[in-house]
Chain A
């Protein structure tokens, strides 16, 4: 079931959390909503869950207008950042709570709880059903929270920074599992995160937000390859921003009139004596430092007043160098 918001607006006093957001979240897909803190992504999710009433705009789940629907009857289960497991109940009771509300028969409750635990791969942990949340590890608590949401077979799954309380190693594993679970169940998932790498790797579609608006939405590859604004380009991991313009030959000239953005991995370092290949932008500079990163080397190149980063497989000697970037890898924006 697809989810759609139209002109969604929410203000808290002077602060505009959502500023006329219109966006469709495709059915059966995992959409990541990503942006820096304060961009409105959490408010958007809480509007979808029904915990925040928008000042203006409409919300649709499938063909149903849910703008004024109570959170209890939205059929959108949420996974909280803190997991929000009920500490006084066992894992079984946490999962059974919503099923009993729905008057599911006793036998079916047991069966569906086990099914859900199986889906999040907790079924092999002995005695897990009778444990209380505080007896579980962070990763296990996260999975229980996920199981508690999907046990009701919701149409929509809302995830609010679900991995931010896990350490890096477990985070990567659970990320893959959430992705696999979403594929298997075919549920429409909306996944809020501040981590652009997490968003790109997990989602069918990313929605980049900035200042309460959607800055860009699309497939991860598309948004990464063709950012529409300096903000999106920078946020998705473009490491170099130069206040500069290009002349017709591709030479990069410092200027306040525009900004050029390109990624460290797209830079070739060449000798300043060789002519730059056609169809590329180039600038001369000086390597001031080289760091070993494991997979390769990162050279810090001084260009005029600024320093850009260039990633290479091989170490480069310090000194004069020419940075060459293929034209399609350079994002040029006018200064507004």
Chain B
């Protein structure tokens, strides 16, 4: 093994090396195409002021549709979405922190059952779940309200929050807390001075997940919120229904910005071990 490794590559190896290189290049090209291709299409459509079949490229290019960001409904939908996502995130944290702490410490009776319960809405196709939720919301006068949209976002958002934070709390050793209790700290003080600060990176990561989820959520928002509460995804949907592909493209690109930003942030906060927990329980 060592001896052959030290020799110069012989001629028979060379075609194989070339083949591997070609395969790798092809793979990179396919991946790049898969990622950049749709993006390029979006960018192209967002600047196409006139683009008629069968032209390969738009006949007239300009920033007319991009200018729409600064005015009117697109911006309103964006701020509305951000507001809803913020409230959803806070509500998810307030609910998920105690639940996941209890589940992680096994102090909660039926902890695993509770965890499964939070996962349950994800086990069914979203449309029927949200549609029947919407029916209920109409009955309760929550349809078309901000509260209704926040609630429907919580159904999905809580899954991310509870599961990540259970993993985060489980990663904190129990003796770390016992040391504080042993030295005289109450359970509450121990939680706020020891456990929560240690869980903070995970809490931040979990909030980012919930925030992005809420910002991008479409089905529930459409069924419960429309037409009074429209967020960007719903706005985009309406735009593309009206064959305003340029508006839809601009919206899609705008919608990507917070997502990408927050994911980069999260990558710094969320340690691999927390993510690994998703495969366990």
Using a CB–CB cutoff of 8 Å, the interface residues on chain A facing chain B are 49-51, 71-73, 76-78, 80-82, 84-88, 97-98, 101-102, 148-149, 152
What's the least CB distance linking A209 to chain B, in Å? 21
Q: Is the CB of A97 within 8 A of B183?
A: yes
- Verify B179–A86 contact, CB threshold 8 A: yes
Least Cβ–Cβ distance between A306 and chain B, in angstroms: 44
In contact, B175 and A80 (Cβ under 8 angstroms): yes
Check A78/B176 contact, CB under 8 A, given A88-B197, A88-B198: no
Chain A residue with the shortest CB-CB distance to B197? A88
How far is B175's CA from A181's CA once the two chains are assembled, in angstroms?
Answer: 24
Cα A148 to Cα B176 in complex, Å, equals 13
Is the CB–CB distance between A72 and B185 below 8 Å? yes
The contact size tier of chain B is 10 to 19
Within 8 A of A (CB), among B146-196: 173, 175-176, 178-186, 189, 193-194
Contact among A77, A78, A80, A97 with B185 in the assembled complex (CB-CB below 8 Å): A97
Contacts of B197 in A (CB 8 A): 88
- B183 near A148 with CB under 8 A, answer yes
Bound complex: CA of A317 vs CA of B181, how far in Å? 62
Q: Which chain A residues lie closer than 8 Å to B179 at the CB level?
A: 78, 80, 84-86, 148
| Chain B: CB-nearest residue to A99 | B183
Question: A84–B198 contact, CB under 8 A?
Answer: no
Bound-state Cα–Cα, A61 to B183, Å: 16
Q: Are A82 and B181 in contact (CB under 8 A)?
A: no
Residue in B184, B186, B189 whose CB lies within 8 Å of A152 = B184
Report the bound CA distance from A211 to B27 in whole Å. 62
Nearest chain B residue, comparing its CB with the CB of A151: B183
User: CB-nearest residue of chain B relative to A94?
Assistant: B179
With A84-B173, A84-B176 in contact, do A77 and B194 touch (Cβ < 8 Å)? Answer: no
- Interface residues of chain B: helix, strand, loop or mixed (majority): helix
Tell me whether B184 and A102 are in contact (CB under 8 A).
Answer: yes
Instruction: Collect the chain B residues with CB atoms within 8 Å of residue A88's CB.
Output: 197-198
Pair count A-B, CB < 8 A:
58
| Complex CA–CA separation, A64 to B37 (angstroms) | 76
With a cutoff of 8 Å between Cβ atoms, the chain B residues found around residue A97 in the complex are 180, 183, 185, 193
19 extra interchain contacts, Cβ-Cβ under 8 A, other than A72-B185, A86-B194?
A49-B182, A71-B178, A71-B182, A73-B184, A78-B179, A80-B175, A80-B178, A80-B179, A81-B175, A82-B173, A84-B173, A86-B176, A86-B180, A97-B180, A98-B185, A101-B184, A101-B189, A102-B184, A149-B183
Is there contact, CB below 8 Å, between B186 and A72?
yes
Question: Which B residues are CB-close (under 8 A) to A51?
Answer: 178, 181-182
Q: How far is the CA of A78 from the CA of B184 in the complex (A)?
A: 11
Q: Are B181 and A71 in contact (CB under 8 A)?
A: yes
A84-B179, A86-B179 as given contacts; A101 in contact with B173, CB under 8 Å: no
Q: Is the CB of B173 within 8 A of A77?
A: no
Whether B186 and A82, one on each chain, are in contact in the complex, defined by CB atoms closer than 8 angstroms, is no
CB proximity of A77 to chain B, nearest CB, Å: 6
Cβ distance A270 to chain B, nearest Cβ, rounded Å: 54
Q: Would you list which residues of chain B between 190 and 219 have a CB under 8 Å from chain A? A: 193-194, 197-198
| Nearest 3 Cβ contacts at the A-B interface | A98-B183, A84-B179, A84-B175
Chain B contacts for A78, CB-based, 8 A: 178-179, 182
Shortest Cβ distance from residue A133 to the other chain B in the assembled complex, whole angstroms: 11
25 CB contacts below 8 A, A to B, read A49-B182, A50-B182, A71-B178, A72-B184, A72-B185, A76-B182, A77-B182, A77-B183, A78-B179, A78-B182, A81-B175, A82-B173, A82-B175, A84-B173, A85-B179, A86-B194, A87-B198, A97-B180, A97-B193, A98-B184, A101-B189, A102-B184, A149-B183, A152-B183, A152-B184
CB distance from B185 to the nearest CB of A (A): 6
Residues of chain A within 8 A (CB-CB) of B193 are 97
Distance from A69 Cβ to chain B, minimum over Cβ atoms (Å) = 12
**Contact, CB under 8 Å: A84 / B184:** no
**B173 neighbours in A (Cβ, 8 Å):** 82, 84
**Residues of A with C-beta under 8 A to B185:** 72, 97-98, 101
A101 touches B178 (CB 8 A): no
Q: Could you tell me the distance between the alpha carbons of A148 and B183 in the complex, rounded to whole angstroms?
A: 9
B189 to chain A: closest residue by CB: A101
Shortest CB distance B79–A (Å)? 35
Q: How far is the CA of A51 from the CA of B190 in the complex (A)?
A: 15
* Residues in A neighbouring B182, C-beta threshold 8 A: 49-51, 71-72, 76-78
- Minimum Cβ distance to chain B for residue A272 (Å): 58
Query: CA separation between A73 and B182, bound complex, in Å?
Result: 8
Distance in angstroms between the alpha carbons of A280 and B74 in the assembled complex: 102
User: How far is it, in angstroms, between the C-alpha of A92 and the C-alpha of B176 when the chains are bound?
Assistant: 17
Q: Nearest Cβ in chain B — how far from A335, in angstroms?
A: 42
Bound CA–CA A87/B183 (angstroms): 16
Within 8 Å CB of A76, what residues of B? 182
Contacts of B189 in A (CB 8 A): 101
A97 to B193 alpha-carbon distance, docked (Å): 10
**With A and B bound together, what is the CA distance between A87 and B186 in angstroms?**
19
Nearest chain B residue, comparing its CB with the CB of A82: B175
A84 to B176, CA, bound (A): 5
C-alpha spacing A331/B197, complex, angstroms: 57
Residue among B175, B184, B189, B194 having the largest count of chain A Cβ atoms under 10 Å: B184
Minimum CB–CB distance for A121 against chain B, Å: 22
Nearest to A78 among chain B residues (CB) is B182
